Amino acid sequence: MSDPKAYTVGWICALSTERVAAQAFLDEEHDRPEYVSHNDNNDYTLGKYGKHNVVIAALPDGEYGIASAASVARDMLHSFPNVRIGLMVGIGGGVPSKKHDIRLGDIVVSAPPNGMSGVFQYDFGKTIQDQGFRTTRFLNHPPMVLRTAVSGLKTQDECYGHQLGDAIDKILSENPRLQEKYKRPDQGSDRLYHSTFVHPRDSDASCVAVCHSLNLISRPERTKNEDNPAIHYGLIASANQLMKDGLIRDKLAADKEVLCFEMEAAGLMNHFPCLIIRGICDYSDSHKNKEWQGYAAMTAAAYAKDLLCRIPPSKVEAKDLRRIPPNKVEAKDPLCGIPACRKDILDSLSAPGSIQHSPTVEPTPGTCQWITERDAFKVWRDGEPSSTIPPRSKPADNKLWIHGSPACGKTFLANFIVGHLRESKSEQAEVMYCFLDARVEAHRDRDAILRPTLRQATGIDPALTGNYLYNVYREPKTRTLTTDMLYHLWPKVMALLAKRKRLMIVIDGFDEIHDKYQEEFLGCFNKCEELCGENTLNLRLLILSRCCPSLDCHNQSFRTYEIAIDDTERDISVTVQESVERLSRVTGFPRFFQDKVVNEISEGARGSYLWATVLVADLEITLPSLCDLNKRLKTLPREMAELYDSILGRIDSTGPNRRRIVKLILRWVTLQYKALSIQELDTGLALAIIRDKDLGSSVNDLLLQSHTIHPRDVKLALRGMCGQLIRFSRPESSNKIEVLPVYRSLTLYLVTPTKRLRQQHRDPINIPYHDKFFMAETESHATLGNLCVAYLTMPRFADPGKKFQADGNGPAEWACKVRKRMENDGFAGYAALFWAKHLGEAGPDLPKHSSPLDLERRKMLLDKESGYASCWFEM
């Protein structure tokens, strides 16, 4: 039996005829797999083409279309986890035209024209008055390794011609059983009729018998110098319907330069990125017949084998079908190979709060690819000189600033760019990244960029960087790298690496750190450029942000690109489309209604990724009926404030109790100084509920426990209460799930008075529920500060335990005790750090928002002789 982990190429067919052709070209046929996934319904043929182990599967007998193809691909990836490239090989309907002399038996390959994916779904779109039908589904490119092989094979065939006919003849001579069905039919049966002439509807007779030859289009025979079968590269049209209309065929050929029609590819491209190869068996009109199907399947299989044989196995092993986002990549161990005495220096780069900052959101497959076609990005990525710009005004080719309006999808784009660079980089290039979020305390620090990127640098060349750091800071007192040390070290380490490799640094959310820190980092990078000297172009910096004064000052040295609505419109459509399809699997919405929902939401977004994603995520939670959703589409909110208000309006309609709980949750989530974990937030919420019920209640462990939720149910309860107004994030090197507001605009909506919020919008906005959820900042901070104090004055903190001793084992025991207390009780650590900061934000209004019990607790906490004071001060 064969090991499923040994197979790296996935080959999908629609028909048994296509599978027979694929199997006939195998150089080796292997035993059936040892095991497959429990829910895998596919039947597999395993074997080898050249040096590649290939798994072949076909759609269930009698089933066709996009959904069936997607199901087969999904099951294949579950059972064969190491499949790295995909092929969809079989037959299709040709689209002959004056520009493309396509004939039966020819091959059409889905080569991407003008940056498109090579496949488009022509039955998915929208109809606009006076504009007709417009397709709106956008599909992924084939993987780069396949596109590169196509380019090479295309060049080879143009120079020397292909040998596909000879390969087919050899297979058929070795398999006489296949001769009758799979040999090339007589050339006289290749009949192309005028598109206006339709095969008699009530006749099953052949075209030779009932279709007059006067309706045939005359075409000269191919010469000896022309390939026969010919290979065509271009756009393939896919849909859930069989194309049998010559007029529609010709219209799409004229509008889109379509070369072929088929029924499966659109179901694969976004989930099983692959190349589509079709042998032409008819002309997509009413004169269809099956005479050429066998031979067309053979030509497609022969081409696919030729293509695979051009790809070195090492490239397939290095290429993954499923693009791995930056936060999922298995990092190199930067301490590997470095003596233990030197590890303590590098350990300081991974101290709590200084971890490598990774994205918490991943782009929808098939989105963000437009950036690879933009000149500014290509120059930055490839290092091509910009000769069209005069030298004095010419910005540096190694620095690029991509900026755009809030919520336009910059983090999605940054995530895609990191993945794209990793996929396409050479062995001499390395990618580093940093995703900043001002809601996370560590990301606001002065060294928020330097520490994580330096940590990644140590993984690129551990021996070089580790030894350098050790040699510079070998004294025991300096084994922990301070921020000032980092600013001294960073340029030198990066310049050292840039002499050996190209370093590509991607920073998202540059505007999230203080203007002063932005300037300091840019100065640090400029110093690094000076140290690089002639290797400056090996050091590449890409920054994504909103408008930044610091970058505006440096725009002479940066290339810039502004994200336009036209850029994100396509991405939003794809993202909405995926969510609506997921929603429809539960609600059963028909296809025409799904199209309507996608079109309405995509157009209403007006370039705002956040608006679209929050809206469709809210639909997935509320699961409206077709009638309810139809009503919602007629009154879609225009601004984020209106969208937040409509979500809170539905929460309000469920009753005052839920409104009260949601407001308490949002107060913590939007005004927290450090992201609370779900368990810590549960504790804070329990404190708020106790206080809300009776300001005179004394808090103790028993009372607190009676108001908390079982740890297993906390996340579900929070999501059920707040829906898409909150999001969950798991930081690297942590098993805790943190709770954050969906976006900073939610905080602004909640803490801004209604009158001022209306004034901030040029057009009138409809926010009838804002007053019910409005949270005055001073009152809210006073409340949160008092809750922290209430927690720190619980009976369990009355005795601090063994006091700190100045000698002996006292310090170690004391540190261990405090550390264990904070690990076991995360909320205690938050309360100890931030109670005074919350109360300070309340300002002179603090007495007004505090009860006598609150004042008494603060006195207890500040009494130096009390155990409460010792506990919180230690933490």
Q: With beta carbons less than 8 A apart as the criterion, state whether 741 and 439 touch.
A: yes
| Domain termination site, one of 539, 563, 587 | 563
What tens digit of pLDDT does each residue of 8-46 get? Answer: 999 999 999 999 999 999 999 999 888 887 778 899 999
Q: What CATH number does the domain containing 679 carry?
A: 1.10.10
Indicate if 540 and 581 belong to the same structural domain.
no
Q: What whole-number distance in Å separates Cα of residue 652 and Cα of residue 635? A: 19
On whether residue 748 sits in a domain, the answer given is yes
- Range in 389-403, 559-573, 674-688, 858-872 the model is least confident about: 389-403
Q: Which residues pair with 108 in a beta bridge?
A: 232, 278
Indicate if 535 and 656 belong to the same structural domain.
no
- What is the structure's pLDDT at 324? 41
On whether residue 643 sits in a domain, the answer given is no
- What is the structure's pLDDT at 389? 42
Cα radius of gyration rounded to whole Å, the chain = 32
Q: Which amino acid is at 721?
A: M
What tens digit of pLDDT does each residue of 279-332 get? Answer: 999 998 888 778 899 999 999 999 999 999 999 888 776 444 444 444 444 444
Average pLDDT, the chain: 81
What is the DSSP secondary structure assignment for residue 515, as one 8-state letter?
H
The phi, psi pair for 496, rounded to 5°, reads -60, -45
- What is the structure's pLDDT at 253? 81
Q: What whole-number distance in Å separates Cα of residue 323 and Cα of residue 424? A: 12
Q: With beta carbons less than 8 A apart as the criterion, state whether 697 and 660 touch.
A: no
What tens digit of pLDDT does each residue of 199-241 get? Answer: 887 777 778 777 877 778 888 888 888 888 999 999 888 887 7
Q: Residues 725-743: what's their mean pLDDT?
A: 79
Q: Which residues pair with 728 in a beta bridge?
A: 739
**What is the 3-state secondary structure of 516-562?**
HHHHHHHHHHHHHHHHHHHHHHHEEEEEEECCCHHHHHCCCCCEEEE
Indicate if 764 and 790 belong to the same structural domain.
no
What domain range includes position 800? 780-875
On whether residue 646 sits in a domain, the answer given is no
The H or E element containing residue 128 is strand 125-128
Q: Residues 245-250: what's their mean pLDDT?
A: 85
Indicate if 769 and 789 belong to the same structural domain.
no
What tens digit of pLDDT does each residue of 629-659 get? Answer: 998 899 899 899 999 999 999 899 988 889 9
What tens digit of pLDDT does each residue of 455-506 get? Answer: 788 777 766 666 666 565 555 444 566 778 788 888 988 888 888 888 999 9
The H or E element containing residue 234 is strand 231-238
Q: Which amino acid is at 432?
A: M
- What is the structure's pLDDT at 474? 53
pLDDT top residue among 556 and 570: 570
Q: With beta carbons less than 8 A apart as the criterion, state whether 822 and 829 touch.
A: yes
- What is the structure's pLDDT at 336? 41
- What is the structure's pLDDT at 390? 41
- Range in 81-85, 354-358, 428-432, 457-461 the model is least confident about: 354-358
Structure tokens at 404: 């755009």
What is the DSSP secondary structure assignment for residue 216, as one 8-state letter?
B
- What is the structure's pLDDT at 719? 83
Q: What whole-number distance in Å separates Cα of residue 183 and Cα of residue 298? A: 9
- What is the structure's pLDDT at 334? 39
Indicate if 359 and 427 belong to the same structural domain.
yes
Q: Is the pLDDT of residue 140 over 80?
A: no
Q: Is 118 exposed, middle or buried (0-12, 13-18, 19+ CB in 10 A)?
A: buried
| Domain termination site, one of 257, 286, 318 | 318
Indicate if 40 and 27 belong to the same structural domain.
yes
Indicate if 558 and 572 belong to the same structural domain.
no
Indicate if 221 and 78 belong to the same structural domain.
yes
Indicate if 385 and 457 belong to the same structural domain.
yes
- Range in 373-377, 524-528, 713-717 the model is least confident about: 713-717
pLDDT top residue among 714 and 259: 259
How much of the chain exceeds pLDDT 70, in percent? 81
Q: What CATH number does the domain containing 546 carry?
A: 3.40.50.300
Q: Which residues pair with 543 in a beta bridge?
A: 401, 507
804 — pLDDT class (breaks 50, 70, 90)? very low
On whether residue 641 sits in a domain, the answer given is no
| Domain termination site, one of 591, 611, 636 | 636
Structure tokens at 398: 């190694």
- The contacts of residue 230 (CB under 8 Å, 6+ apart) are 101, 102, 103, 106, 107, 222
- The contacts of residue 653 (CB under 8 Å, 6+ apart) are none
Report the domain count for the chain.
5
Q: What whole-number distance in Å separates Cα of residue 616 and Cα of residue 742? A: 14
- Range in 146-160, 609-623, 790-804, 805-819 the model is least confident about: 805-819
Q: Which residue has the tokens 């580093």?
A: 432
Indicate if 791 and 719 belong to the same structural domain.
no
- What is the structure's pLDDT at 131? 43
Taking CA atoms, 673 is separated from 668, 831, 836, 838, in Å, by 9, 10, 12, 9
On whether residue 451 sits in a domain, the answer given is yes
Indicate if 605 and 553 belong to the same structural domain.
no
Q: Is the pLDDT of residue 586 over 60?
A: yes
On whether residue 227 sits in a domain, the answer given is yes
Q: Which residue has the tokens 């008075």?
A: 753
Sign of the alpha-carbon torsion through 288, 290, 294, 295: negative
pLDDT top residue among 841 and 802: 841
Taking CA atoms, 513 is separated from 436, 449, 510, 530, in Å, by 8, 9, 6, 25
Q: What whole-number distance in Å separates Cα of residue 458 and Cα of residue 466? A: 7
Taking CA atoms, 779 is separated from 275, 460, 725, 776, 845, in Å, by 60, 49, 22, 6, 8
On whether residue 411 sits in a domain, the answer given is yes
- What is the structure's pLDDT at 305? 94
Indicate if 447 and 539 belong to the same structural domain.
yes
Three-state DSSP at 378 gives helix
- What is the structure's pLDDT at 351? 42
Q: Is the pLDDT of residue 704 over 50?
A: yes
Report the largest interatomic distance among the alpha carbons of the chain, rounded to a whole angstrom.
109
On whether residue 645 sits in a domain, the answer given is no
